[in-house]
């Protein structure tokens, strides 16, 4: 498979390495102040550019009817615009805030925990913490926002807040330090005990491998998808 990469920072470079290990060819790379190859040769494009460039890059590929796998977060105010554009071009778009297989299993565990805790939500206070490297520009992380959805859905809170008090809104504490690839912790605490769910990435390899798996799955499809579609239909 021939792959185009939009964004060639640490994540893009790790994806390129993973792609080559799986015998794929990188035919196009675009990043700030650089462009190599021909995007029109790509069977699929993987976007991990900065948030400000995400919509432009996604549309650039969709315009050419090239399926796009996107892992960039921090641009979702334009999500519906991109979805509509994809439908107009009759091609494929797959977005996930996190392509790690482990994180996607963690999301399912969190959803189950929310449903189990719902009858006891008066006793348990929920909070969340996410920790990433200092180069991550958006906060809270896309994964943290995905973790928040089932908690908001069961009316634990109506909405979330960033680094707040947690009294009326779901508090998501976001920390940026060192080279941390990603850590997410959801905590349910009562007056007598505490339940914690945690996922910690040791490096970027799991994210890259998941993105390549998603690209392999998406290459011959049309429509709008998530990583859950990949895991449920592989």
| Residues that are catalytic | 132, 136
Give the strand order in the sheet containing 160-162: 160-162, 170-176, 125-132, 182-189, 194-201
Distances (CA, A) of 165 to 6, 14, 50, 143, 192: 38, 37, 30, 21, 21
Q: What is the DSSP string of 111-151?
A: HHHHHHHGGGTTT-EEEEEEEE-TT--SSS-HHHHHHHHHH
CA-nearest of 170, 175, 125 to 150 is 170
Contacts of 146 (CB under 8 A, 6+ apart): 97, 98, 107
Planar angle of CA 137, 3, 12, nearest 5 degrees: 25
Instruction: Burial-class residue 233 by CB neighbours within 10 Å (0-12, 13-18, 19+).
Output: exposed
């Amino acid at each position: 498979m021939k792959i185009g990469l939009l964004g060639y920072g640490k994540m893009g470079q790790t994806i390129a390495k993973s792609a080559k290990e799986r015998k794929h060819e990188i035919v196009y790379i675009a990043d700030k102040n650089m462009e190599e190859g021909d995007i029109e040769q790509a069977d699929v494009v993987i976007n991990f550019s900065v948030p400000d460039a995400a919509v432009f890059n996604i549309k650039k590929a969709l315009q050419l009817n090239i399926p796009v796998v996107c892992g960039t977060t921090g641009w979702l105010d334009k999500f519906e615009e991109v979805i509509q554009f994809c439908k107009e071009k009759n091609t494929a778009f797959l977005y996930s805030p996190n392509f790690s297989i482990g994180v996607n299993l963690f999301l399912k565990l969190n959803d189950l925990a929310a449903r189990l805790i719902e009858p006891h939500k008066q006793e348990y206070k929920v909070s969340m913490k996410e920790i990433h490297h200092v180069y991550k520009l958006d906060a809270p992380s896309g994964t943290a926002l995905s973790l928040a959805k089932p908690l908001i859905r069961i009316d634990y809170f109506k909405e979330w807040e960033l680094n707040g008090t947690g009294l009326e809104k779901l508090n998501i504490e976001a920390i940026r330090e060192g080279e941390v690839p990603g850590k997410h912790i959801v905590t349910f605490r009562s007056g007598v005990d505490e339940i914690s769910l945690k996922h910690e990435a040791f490096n970027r390899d799991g994210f890259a491998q998941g993105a390549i798996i998603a690209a392999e799955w998406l290459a011959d499809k049309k429509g709008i998808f998530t990583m859950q579609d990949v895991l449920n239909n592989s």
